[in-house]
Structure 1
């Protein structure tokens, strides 16, 4: 007897994911999107109030004035994504800046000075990373030690300001590459290139995935066989390198090195990273979000300058935004824990 097999059943229609599931996929982006929304509202509100705020000149100056802060924020994004913190970046910027100015004043060629500034920042970053990873020192304490160390080195180099007259360093800030009414300086181009490279590294490399994994759960990252120790040292090294580059940018911007440069700048950079959507607990955040956070910070300063109010209001507003974003972060983490 021949058995006739029944015809194959038609494929069941694929169920579309529920709206709640689709929204949860974009939950990690919500703090960054909130920062973008704040930036848009800030600029539109300033334009409606003053009438001449959104101009090529003002927007170009926003990048020009905050290139060094963008650099610090990029390095801190790597560190904070692992669940760490680096309080030394402002002091590293001051140390590398005064070191470069002193070397140039002593007649050392600029081709030697520029690598020395970057290596000086890298050395302090690597030291902090080694303390955190191999001596089990809390990142707050290790980076605080790095803060005092770098600031002390800055005062050892010089107790007073040193003027920079090297044409190569000054060219980084004085040159204007114009496109119509818009312009870019070499420092701004370097800052944007570093942002692009950092974003690509975090998005498409094994190292970037390891950074996120450590921030999500360091123990799980170890169980997966990821290079946790090496990665943690490297992120502090990256932060130190960014601090050295920021020292170069600030020296070019101000035309001088000064041992008291950057006092409190590490807090500005941390605030920009948090406002940009990077969780202080680690494991979630974007370099582009940190760029947005810096632009929010710079935009608030510009608006306050337009109003003629005291710049202390910048601290007050940034403090309020930071508090708001920390509360949002806590809600996101609590919701993830419940799931």
Structure 2
């Protein structure tokens, strides 16, 4: 009996040890799984309450309405993974949208305008990266300065709204592609957003650039000692965020059918919240583009539920703020446990 007891205890201890090793290796996925759980609870709860929430029309519109935010979240994920922040994305989206709408109104072809919008976004991101790494400006201050600059440039283009009548831009949003029997559909803007997610995920996990981003976020000093191109990679992370902001300017302009210099106010905070809710650590080094996508869908679902309730949209901010606080606390617990295990 004693031998059996000892053997049982040994197997139990081995199982516990295996579980702990599995958990420690997969600890970075815990916030993502938490976001997925919250998203499912929101969808199921809304369906039980309203009875008509879980429908192809409503679920398809989640991607349609949040495609621009999803693109911004991918770029923001790259920056936050390095331990940085980019507060300029909403203003850059507005500026590129205003400039693009103005140029289209003046008769420039779409094939010229869209690459120009992306190039301007990349240039704004490059400026932030240079300020951070060559002038030793804190990312918060550098991106804040870029935010003010981009917003001012948007007002310089026009103080009023510019309507977009270009067929190619409007086609991106107005086209409904049936993806399944019934009312399931996707728009070109949705396809574009999903492609950005796919490319972002592949770059982060299967390229040297992506692995260097994770290494910098984990420990910049260690990354330097390993001979990794830290400066170039961090600057490129801001360039990626800028390009995503320029592309979001295209998508948001197609979504609204017009550009306005006040577009995107507060969008940078929504983007950061979605990325954090999706499991990316604000300290850098841990997170996934797929998690950021889940975070965007959580944000979009909350916004849709509040619209169904007929409540003021300020409740969206309150709900997102509460979730953000919850996930920051979860992240702190995970970081503390990881540090304890390393000791």
TM-score bracket for the superposition, by shorter chain length: over 0.9
> Hey, what's the Cα distance between the residues in 2 that align with 1:82 and 1:19?
30
Q: Deviations over 1:88-123 (max 9, x none)?
A: 000000000000000011111111111111111110
Match of 1:187 in 2: 189
* Cα distance, 1:338 vs structure 2: 2.1
* Cα distance, 1:18 vs structure 2: 2.3
Aligned length: 326
Match of 1:300 in 2: 302
Match of 1:327 in 2: 329
**CA-atom RMSD, angstroms?**
1.1
Q: Say which of 216, 219, 225 aligns to 1:217.
A: 219
Q: Say which of 234, 237, 242 aligns to 1:240.
A: 242
Q: Deviations over 1:20-40 (max 9, x none)?
A: 111211111000100000000
Match of 1:4 in 2: none
* Cα distance, 1:135 vs structure 2: 1.0
> Hey, what's the Cα distance between the residues in 1 that align with 2:37 and 2:18?
26
> Hey, what's the Cα distance between the residues in 2 that align with 1:41 and 1:255?
34
Q: Deviations over 1:63-112 (max 9, x none)?
A: 00000000100000000000000000000000000000000111111111
* Cα distance, 1:134 vs structure 2: 1.1
* Cα distance, 1:332 vs structure 2: 1.2
Unaligned runs of 5+ in 2: 1-13
Match of 1:12 in 2: none
* Cα distance, 1:272 vs structure 2: 0.1
* Cα distance, 1:216 vs structure 2: 0.2
Moved more, 82-91 or 105-114: 105-114
> Hey, what's the Cα distance between the residues in 1 that align with 2:67 and 2:193?
6
> Hey, what's the Cα distance between the residues in 1 that align with 2:18 and 2:296?
35
Match of 1:169 in 2: 169
> Hey, what's the Cα distance between the residues in 2 that align with 1:104 and 1:48?
46
Q: Deviations over 1:269-307 (max 9, x none)?
A: 000000000000000000000000000000001111111
Unaligned runs of 5+ in 1: 1-14
> Hey, what's the Cα distance between the residues in 2 that align with 1:310 and 1:150?
29
Match of 1:140 in 2: 140
Asked if 1 retains the 8 angstrom alpha-carbon contact of 2:24 and 2:338, the reply is: no
> Hey, what's the Cα distance between the residues in 1 that align with 2:267 and 2:314?
14
Give the match's secondary structure for 2:262.
Answer: coil
Higher helix share: 2
Give the match's secondary structure for 2:185.
Answer: strand
> Hey, what's the Cα distance between the residues in 2 that align with 1:65 and 1:103?
25
Match of 1:89 in 2: 89
Match of 1:262 in 2: 264
> Hey, what's the Cα distance between the residues in 2 that align with 1:226 and 1:59?
43
> Hey, what's the Cα distance between the residues in 1 that align with 2:311 and 2:159?
32
> Hey, what's the Cα distance between the residues in 1 that align with 2:212 and 2:54?
40
Match of 2:104 in 1: 104
* Cα distance, 1:258 vs structure 2: 0.7
Runs (4 or more) in structure 1 with deviation over 4 Å come to none
Match of 1:271 in 2: 273
Q: Which has the greater radius of gyration?
A: 1
> Hey, what's the Cα distance between the residues in 1 that align with 2:70 and 2:177?
19
> Hey, what's the Cα distance between the residues in 1 that align with 2:26 and 2:122?
35
